[in-house]
Structure 1
Amino acid sequence: MKRKELDCENCYTEFVEQLNDLRDVVQEGKSHGMNDRTRAEIVKFFEKAHDAALETIAAYFRKQGKPPFSGSRDATVEAFHANLIDDGQGWLDMIICRIKYNPLYPGDYLGSLTENIVKKYIDFLEGFERVMEKNLDQ
Protein backbone atom coordinates (compact mmCIF):
# COMPACT_ATOMS: atom_id res chain seq x y z
CA MET A 1 0.00 0.00 0.00
CA LYS A 2 1.39 3.39 -0.97
CA ARG A 3 1.83 5.91 1.84
CA LYS A 4 -0.01 9.20 1.47
CA GLU A 5 2.34 12.15 1.14
CA LEU A 6 1.89 14.71 3.91
CA ASP A 7 2.00 18.42 3.26
CA CYS A 8 4.89 20.49 4.56
CA GLU A 9 3.08 21.76 7.66
CA ASN A 10 2.05 18.26 8.75
CA CYS A 11 5.55 16.93 8.11
CA TYR A 12 6.98 19.77 10.18
CA THR A 13 4.54 19.04 13.02
CA GLU A 14 5.60 15.38 12.97
CA PHE A 15 9.26 16.44 12.95
CA VAL A 16 8.78 18.69 16.00
CA GLU A 17 7.05 15.85 17.87
CA GLN A 18 9.92 13.48 17.06
CA LEU A 19 12.51 16.10 18.02
CA ASN A 20 10.74 16.69 21.34
CA ASP A 21 10.83 12.93 22.01
CA LEU A 22 14.56 12.97 21.26
CA ARG A 23 15.10 15.92 23.60
CA ASP A 24 13.26 14.07 26.36
CA VAL A 25 15.30 10.88 26.06
CA VAL A 26 18.58 12.82 25.82
CA GLN A 27 17.65 14.72 28.99
CA GLU A 28 16.78 11.44 30.69
CA GLY A 29 20.16 10.03 29.71
CA LYS A 30 21.97 13.09 31.02
CA SER A 31 20.05 12.94 34.30
CA HIS A 32 20.18 9.20 34.96
CA GLY A 33 23.31 8.09 33.11
CA MET A 34 24.01 6.67 29.68
CA ASN A 35 23.65 2.90 29.72
CA ASP A 36 23.26 0.81 26.57
CA ARG A 37 19.45 0.86 26.81
CA THR A 38 19.41 4.66 27.01
CA ARG A 39 21.91 4.95 24.15
CA ALA A 40 19.74 2.66 22.00
CA GLU A 41 16.68 4.80 22.82
CA ILE A 42 18.55 7.98 21.89
CA VAL A 43 19.56 6.47 18.55
CA LYS A 44 16.00 5.27 17.88
CA PHE A 45 14.48 8.69 18.55
CA PHE A 46 17.27 10.43 16.64
CA GLU A 47 16.61 8.29 13.57
CA LYS A 48 12.90 9.11 13.76
CA ALA A 49 13.61 12.85 14.11
CA HIS A 50 16.16 12.82 11.28
CA ASP A 51 13.78 10.91 9.00
CA ALA A 52 11.00 13.38 9.84
CA ALA A 53 13.35 16.28 9.04
CA LEU A 54 14.14 14.72 5.66
CA GLU A 55 10.40 14.24 5.01
CA THR A 56 9.83 17.89 5.89
CA ILE A 57 12.58 18.95 3.49
CA ALA A 58 11.08 16.82 0.72
CA ALA A 59 7.59 18.22 1.38
CA TYR A 60 8.93 21.78 1.43
CA PHE A 61 10.52 21.37 -2.00
CA ARG A 62 7.52 19.43 -3.33
CA LYS A 63 5.39 22.44 -2.35
CA GLN A 64 7.71 24.56 -4.50
CA GLY A 65 7.22 22.21 -7.44
CA LYS A 66 10.65 20.61 -7.38
CA PRO A 67 11.00 16.94 -8.40
CA PRO A 68 11.56 14.27 -5.75
CA PHE A 69 15.06 13.53 -4.52
CA SER A 70 16.89 10.30 -5.19
CA GLY A 71 18.04 10.07 -1.57
CA SER A 72 18.80 11.76 1.70
CA ARG A 73 22.13 13.13 0.49
CA ASP A 74 20.51 14.95 -2.43
CA ALA A 75 17.81 16.36 -0.17
CA THR A 76 20.44 17.51 2.33
CA VAL A 77 22.55 19.25 -0.32
CA GLU A 78 19.47 21.01 -1.73
CA ALA A 79 18.39 22.04 1.79
CA PHE A 80 21.82 23.52 2.41
CA HIS A 81 21.71 25.50 -0.85
CA ALA A 82 18.24 26.78 0.08
CA ASN A 83 19.47 27.84 3.56
CA LEU A 84 17.18 25.41 5.37
CA ILE A 85 20.18 23.96 7.18
CA ASP A 86 23.33 25.71 8.38
CA ASP A 87 25.95 22.99 8.25
CA GLY A 88 25.66 20.93 5.08
CA GLN A 89 28.76 18.88 5.86
CA GLY A 90 27.50 18.19 9.37
CA TRP A 91 24.20 16.93 7.99
CA LEU A 92 26.03 14.72 5.48
CA ASP A 93 28.13 13.39 8.36
CA MET A 94 24.87 12.51 10.17
CA ILE A 95 23.83 10.40 7.20
CA ILE A 96 27.20 8.64 7.04
CA CYS A 97 27.17 8.02 10.79
CA ARG A 98 23.71 6.47 10.52
CA ILE A 99 24.89 4.21 7.71
CA LYS A 100 27.87 3.07 9.78
CA TYR A 101 25.57 2.29 12.70
CA ASN A 102 23.71 -0.20 10.52
CA PRO A 103 24.15 -3.68 11.98
CA LEU A 104 25.24 -4.96 8.55
CA TYR A 105 28.56 -3.17 8.97
CA PRO A 106 31.19 -4.36 11.46
CA GLY A 107 32.07 -2.24 14.46
CA ASP A 108 30.45 -0.86 17.57
CA TYR A 109 29.11 2.56 16.68
CA LEU A 110 26.42 2.87 19.39
CA GLY A 111 28.65 4.88 21.72
CA SER A 112 30.09 7.19 19.06
CA LEU A 113 26.72 7.75 17.40
CA THR A 114 25.11 8.57 20.74
CA GLU A 115 27.92 10.97 21.59
CA ASN A 116 27.53 12.72 18.21
CA ILE A 117 23.76 12.96 18.66
CA VAL A 118 24.07 14.56 22.08
CA LYS A 119 26.97 16.88 21.22
CA LYS A 120 26.20 17.89 17.61
CA TYR A 121 23.29 16.33 15.77
CA ILE A 122 20.54 17.50 18.08
CA ASP A 123 21.83 21.07 17.56
CA PHE A 124 21.61 20.61 13.78
CA LEU A 125 18.01 19.40 14.10
CA GLU A 126 17.11 22.30 16.41
CA GLY A 127 18.60 24.77 13.92
CA PHE A 128 16.48 23.23 11.18
CA GLU A 129 13.44 23.51 13.47
CA ARG A 130 14.01 27.27 13.90
CA VAL A 131 14.50 27.89 10.17
CA MET A 132 11.45 25.88 9.16
CA GLU A 133 9.29 27.57 11.77
CA LYS A 134 10.20 30.95 10.26
CA ASN A 135 9.66 29.71 6.69
CA LEU A 136 6.24 28.26 7.49
CA ASP A 137 5.15 31.45 9.29
CA GLN A 138 5.71 33.52 6.14
Structure 2
Amino acid sequence: MKTLPITCEKCFLDFQESLDELQELIRIGKQQDLNEKSQKRIIRSFEITHELALKTIEEYFKKMGRPAFSGPRDATIEAFNEDLIDDGKGWLDMIIERIKYDPIYAEIEEKELTQHIIHKYLLLFNNFERHMKENLEGI
Protein backbone atom coordinates (compact mmCIF):
# COMPACT_ATOMS: atom_id res chain seq x y z
CA MET A 1 0.00 0.00 0.00
CA LYS A 2 1.48 3.29 -1.11
CA THR A 3 1.15 6.41 0.96
CA LEU A 4 0.67 9.71 -0.75
CA PRO A 5 3.19 12.45 0.00
CA ILE A 6 2.03 15.02 2.49
CA THR A 7 1.31 18.33 0.80
CA CYS A 8 1.14 21.80 2.23
CA GLU A 9 -2.55 21.95 1.34
CA LYS A 10 -3.27 18.68 3.18
CA CYS A 11 -1.36 19.87 6.25
CA PHE A 12 -3.29 23.12 6.18
CA LEU A 13 -6.61 21.28 5.93
CA ASP A 14 -5.63 19.12 8.92
CA PHE A 15 -4.66 22.28 10.81
CA GLN A 16 -8.04 23.87 10.04
CA GLU A 17 -9.91 20.79 11.25
CA SER A 18 -7.86 20.74 14.44
CA LEU A 19 -8.45 24.47 14.96
CA ASP A 20 -12.20 23.93 14.59
CA GLU A 21 -12.02 21.18 17.20
CA LEU A 22 -10.02 23.40 19.57
CA GLN A 23 -12.57 26.20 19.20
CA GLU A 24 -15.39 23.76 19.94
CA LEU A 25 -13.62 22.40 23.03
CA ILE A 26 -13.11 25.95 24.28
CA ARG A 27 -16.79 26.74 23.73
CA ILE A 28 -17.85 23.61 25.62
CA GLY A 29 -15.24 24.17 28.32
CA LYS A 30 -16.52 27.68 28.99
CA GLN A 31 -20.03 26.28 29.46
CA GLN A 32 -18.63 23.86 32.05
CA ASP A 33 -16.62 26.55 33.88
CA LEU A 34 -13.36 25.08 32.55
CA ASN A 35 -13.13 22.09 34.86
CA GLU A 36 -9.94 20.03 35.01
CA LYS A 37 -11.11 17.54 32.40
CA SER A 38 -12.02 20.25 29.88
CA GLN A 39 -8.69 22.02 30.53
CA LYS A 40 -6.79 18.81 29.71
CA ARG A 41 -8.77 18.36 26.49
CA ILE A 42 -8.16 21.97 25.46
CA ILE A 43 -4.43 21.65 26.13
CA ARG A 44 -4.17 18.38 24.20
CA SER A 45 -6.08 19.88 21.26
CA PHE A 46 -3.90 23.01 21.42
CA GLU A 47 -0.72 20.92 21.22
CA ILE A 48 -2.02 19.04 18.18
CA THR A 49 -3.15 22.27 16.50
CA HIS A 50 0.24 23.86 17.13
CA GLU A 51 2.08 20.84 15.71
CA LEU A 52 -0.12 20.92 12.61
CA ALA A 53 0.54 24.65 12.17
CA LEU A 54 4.28 24.01 12.36
CA LYS A 55 3.96 21.12 9.88
CA THR A 56 2.00 23.39 7.53
CA ILE A 57 4.74 26.04 7.76
CA GLU A 58 7.40 23.41 7.09
CA GLU A 59 5.56 22.02 4.05
CA TYR A 60 4.83 25.52 2.74
CA PHE A 61 8.52 26.43 2.73
CA LYS A 62 9.41 23.04 1.28
CA LYS A 63 6.96 23.77 -1.54
CA MET A 64 8.75 27.10 -2.07
CA GLY A 65 12.05 25.21 -2.45
CA ARG A 66 13.43 26.28 0.93
CA PRO A 67 15.66 24.01 3.05
CA ALA A 68 14.33 22.21 6.14
CA PHE A 69 14.41 23.92 9.52
CA SER A 70 16.37 22.71 12.52
CA GLY A 71 13.41 23.14 14.84
CA PRO A 72 10.15 24.95 15.62
CA ARG A 73 11.87 28.18 16.64
CA ASP A 74 13.61 28.52 13.28
CA ALA A 75 10.39 27.72 11.42
CA THR A 76 8.49 30.26 13.53
CA ILE A 77 11.04 33.02 12.93
CA GLU A 78 11.03 32.38 9.19
CA ALA A 79 7.21 32.29 9.12
CA PHE A 80 7.19 35.67 10.87
CA ASN A 81 9.74 37.07 8.39
CA GLU A 82 7.55 35.87 5.50
CA ASP A 83 4.31 37.26 7.04
CA LEU A 84 2.69 33.86 7.59
CA ILE A 85 2.33 34.81 11.24
CA ASP A 86 1.92 38.31 12.58
CA ASP A 87 3.18 37.95 16.15
CA GLY A 88 6.54 36.21 16.27
CA LYS A 89 6.94 36.74 20.01
CA GLY A 90 3.51 35.25 20.68
CA TRP A 91 4.39 32.16 18.65
CA LEU A 92 7.75 31.81 20.40
CA ASP A 93 5.91 32.12 23.74
CA MET A 94 3.70 29.25 22.58
CA ILE A 95 6.76 27.06 22.03
CA ILE A 96 8.23 27.98 25.41
CA GLU A 97 4.97 27.31 27.26
CA ARG A 98 4.63 23.93 25.59
CA ILE A 99 8.14 23.08 26.78
CA LYS A 100 7.35 24.28 30.31
CA TYR A 101 4.06 22.42 30.47
CA ASP A 102 4.52 18.88 31.67
CA PRO A 103 1.72 17.25 33.65
CA ILE A 104 4.23 15.65 36.02
CA TYR A 105 6.78 18.46 36.50
CA ALA A 106 4.75 21.47 35.48
CA GLU A 107 6.49 24.84 35.50
CA ILE A 108 3.22 26.25 34.23
CA GLU A 109 -0.15 25.19 35.63
CA GLU A 110 -2.95 23.78 33.48
CA LYS A 111 -5.26 26.65 34.36
CA GLU A 112 -2.69 29.29 33.35
CA LEU A 113 -1.89 27.54 30.06
CA THR A 114 -5.60 27.11 29.30
CA GLN A 115 -6.17 30.84 29.85
CA HIS A 116 -3.29 31.67 27.51
CA ILE A 117 -4.71 29.31 24.88
CA ILE A 118 -8.13 30.93 25.08
CA HIS A 119 -7.03 34.56 25.31
CA LYS A 120 -3.80 34.65 23.26
CA TYR A 121 -3.02 31.57 21.22
CA LEU A 122 -6.42 31.00 19.66
CA LEU A 123 -6.19 34.47 18.08
CA LEU A 124 -2.69 33.66 16.78
CA PHE A 125 -4.00 30.44 15.18
CA ASN A 126 -6.92 32.29 13.59
CA ASN A 127 -4.57 34.93 12.17
CA PHE A 128 -2.25 32.20 10.85
CA GLU A 129 -5.20 30.50 9.17
CA ARG A 130 -6.13 33.76 7.42
CA HIS A 131 -2.55 34.51 6.30
CA MET A 132 -1.94 30.93 5.15
CA LYS A 133 -5.17 30.86 3.17
CA GLU A 134 -4.18 34.09 1.39
CA ASN A 135 -0.71 32.72 0.62
CA LEU A 136 -1.99 29.41 -0.72
CA GLU A 137 -4.50 31.19 -2.97
CA GLY A 138 -1.65 33.28 -4.38
CA ILE A 139 0.38 30.26 -5.48
Could you say which TM-score interval applies, normalised by the shorter chain? over 0.9
Does the CA contact (< 8 Å) of 1:43 and 1:114 recur in 2?
yes
Identity %, equivalent residues: 46
Alpha-carbon spacing, 1:29–1:137, altered in 2? closer, same or farther (3 Å)? same
Quote the residue 1:47 is aligned against. Answer: 47
Query: 1:128 aligns to what?
Result: 128
The separation in 2 between residues aligned to 1:128 and 1:88, in whole angstroms, is 11
Q: CA 1:108/1:61 → structure 2, altered by over 3 Å: closer, same or farther?
A: closer
Instruction: Tell me what 1:118 maps to.
Output: 118
Structure 2 residue 11 is the aligned partner of structure 1 residue 27: no
Give the AA of the match of 1:73.
R
Ranges of 4+ aligned residues in structure 1 off by more than 6 Å: none
AA at the equivalent of 1:11: C
Gaps (5+ residues) in structure 2? Answer: none
1:16 paired with 2:22, answer no
Distance in 2 between residues matched to 1:107 and 1:58, nearest whole Å = 28
SS in 2 for 1:86: coil
Q: Distance in 1 between matches of 2:105 and 2:5?
A: 31
| SS of residue paired to 2:135 | helix
- Counting matched residue pairs gives 136
Higher RCO, Cα 8 Å, sep 6+: 1
What is residue 71 of structure 2 aligned with on the other side? 71
Structure 2 counterpart of 1:62: 62
Residue by residue over 1:51-93, the C-alpha shift from the partner in whole angstroms, topping out at 9 and shown as x without a partner, is: 0000000000000111111111010000000000000000000
Secondary structure of the structure 1 residue equivalent to 2:123: helix
- Shift in Å, 1:102: 2.1
Amino acid at match of 1:122: L
Q: In structure 2, how many angstroms separate the alpha carbons of the residues matched to 1:120 and 1:5?
A: 33
Matched-pair contact (CA < 8 Å) for 1:100–1:109 = no
Residue 90 in structure 1 maps to residue 87 in structure 2: no
User: 1:96, 1:21 → 2: CA distance?
Assistant: 23
Closer, same or farther: CA 21–115 of 1 in aligned 2, 3 Å: same
Q: Which amino acid aligns with 1:109?
A: E
Q: Could you state the TM-score of these two structures normalised by the residue count of structure 2? A: 0.93
Deviation of 1:109 (Å): 1.8
